[in-house]
Amino acid sequence: MGVMNTKVRKAVFPAAGLGTRFLPATKAQPKEMLTLVDKPLIQYGVEEAIHSGMTNIIIVTGRGKTAIEDHFDVSFELEHLLETRGKRDLLASVRAISDMIDVSYVRQKEALGLGHAVLRAKELVGPEPFAVVLSDDVIDAEIPCLQQLLDIHNFYGASVLALMEVNGPEISNYGVVDADPVSHNGLSGKLFRIHNLVEKPKASEAPSNLAIIGRYLLTPEIFRSIESIEPGSGGEIQLTDALKHLLRSRPIYGLKFEGRRYDAGDKLGFLKATVEFALKRHDLGGPFREYLKTLNL
Ligand code: G1P
């Protein structure tokens, strides 16, 4: 224990899912490219990773790989056009995407589950702690959620999961933990030591109301655990099951993070996120608010 100086440099973005909850929009493009106001979902996650000090982005792709690759690549034609037209702000926003980071891609040929997707990044991650970001969980927070997990990881040197309270039958859409609160740095009721995890339990069998949200800070031993487990819920290799395996030899913490999370992989959640993010924008918020007021809801 104690503050450590290991730097977490790498963030893995599983992006090979079929996006069935968002058909037909996701028939020919990955759900990670759905646009929230004016940026694709995955860019929100990538920016969160960058703002948490990570520099190596590893995207695990399936179908629609080229749209994601092109998005994070330099677009000479577009930059040239914006330059000749004197559109400096737009040029800066387009350049910022490709400038700040080093992006690598690895292919997940079959959608065999989240654990399987993370395992595809094993060689690129190597023997160091890393983050996993599920980009359909969009989190609006003053301190980036990944940074909040990182602070706990740096103190305990262990894996840390983002947790949120979910009440009612919705709990069975999530990985759910059994955990005891740990007091930490004036945080009480926020940090938990995890004792068990269950992927998508029946509501009546959920061990608590603490759901796993798509931000993970993992130690590299997780890869061995993923390799050791059998398919679970939905016949898929589940990251939750691998974490349960890891618990046998390593402590795992969970943090009820500060911030608001949107399930942007769900149509209603996506609409809510769109409205809230648009209202927060300094360039769009004012006129958009005025427009909403005219709707007489
Ligand atoms: C995945 C994880 C689940 C977690 C959820 C968070 O499920 O398997 O444990 O609670 O992300 O969004 P998915 O939503 O991909 O089915």
Q: What is the CATH number of the domain that holds 240?
A: 3.90.550.10
Contact present, 119 and 228 (Cβ < 8 Å): no
Q: Is 223 contained in some domain?
A: yes
Question: Reduced to 3 states, what is the DSSP secondary structure of residue 237?
Answer: coil
What's the 104 CA to ligand 1 centre distance in angstroms? Answer: 23
What's the 277 CA to ligand 1 centre distance in angstroms? Answer: 23
Q: Is 188 contained in some domain?
A: yes
Backbone angles phi, psi at 177, to 5 degrees: -110, 155
Q: Is 296 contained in some domain?
A: no
**145: closest CA among 135, 32, 178?**
135
Handedness of CA 63, 66, 69, 72 (dihedral sign): negative
Nearest CA to ligand 1 atom 7: 174
Ligand 1 atom closest to Cα of residue 175 = 9
297 residues of the chain, pLDDT tens digit each: 445 556 899 999 999 888 889 999 888 889 999 999 999 999 999 999 999 999 999 999 987 778 898 888 877 777 877 888 888 888 887 777 677 678 999 999 888 999 999 999 999 999 999 999 999 999 999 999 999 999 999 999 999 999 999 999 999 999 999 999 998 887 788 999 999 999 999 999 999 999 999 999 999 999 999 999 999 999 999 999 999 999 999 999 999 999 999 999 999 999 999 999 999 999 999 999 999 999 988
**111: closest CA among 65, 60, 173?**
60
Contact present, 157 and 4 (Cβ < 8 Å): yes
Global pTM? Answer: 0.93
Candidate from 21, 134, 137, 266 with most ligand 1 atoms within 8 A of CB, to mutate: 134
Q: What is the pLDDT of residue 107?
A: 92
Q: Is 1 contained in some domain?
A: no
Question: Reduced to 3 states, what is the DSSP secondary structure of residue 15?
Answer: strand
Q: Is 59 contained in some domain?
A: yes
Per-residue pLDDT tens digits for 220-278: 999 999 999 999 999 999 999 999 999 999 999 999 999 999 999 999 999 999 999 99
Candidate from 20, 114, 165 with most ligand 1 atoms within 8 A of CB, to mutate: 114
Q: Which residues pair with 162 in a beta bridge?
A: 213, 255
Nearest CA to ligand 1 atom 9: 175
Q: Is 248 contained in some domain?
A: yes
What's the 211 CA to ligand 1 centre distance in angstroms? Answer: 9
Number of domains, the chain: 1
What is the CB neighbour count within 10 angstroms for residue 219?
A: 19
Q: Is 297 contained in some domain?
A: no
Ligand 1 atom closest to Cα of residue 233 = 8
Q: Is 2 contained in some domain?
A: no
Domain range for 104 is 10-291
Q: Which residues line ligand 1 (CB under 6 A)?
A: 114, 134, 137, 174-175, 199, 211-214, 238-240
Q: What is the pLDDT of residue 9?
A: 95
How far apart CA 39 and CA 60 sit, in angstroms, is: 19
Contact present, 197 and 177 (Cβ < 8 Å): yes
Q: What is the pLDDT of residue 33?
A: 94
How far apart CA 238 and CA 118 sit, in angstroms, is: 10
Longest Cα–Cα distance of the chain, Å, equals 62
Ligand 1 atom closest to Cα of residue 238 = 8
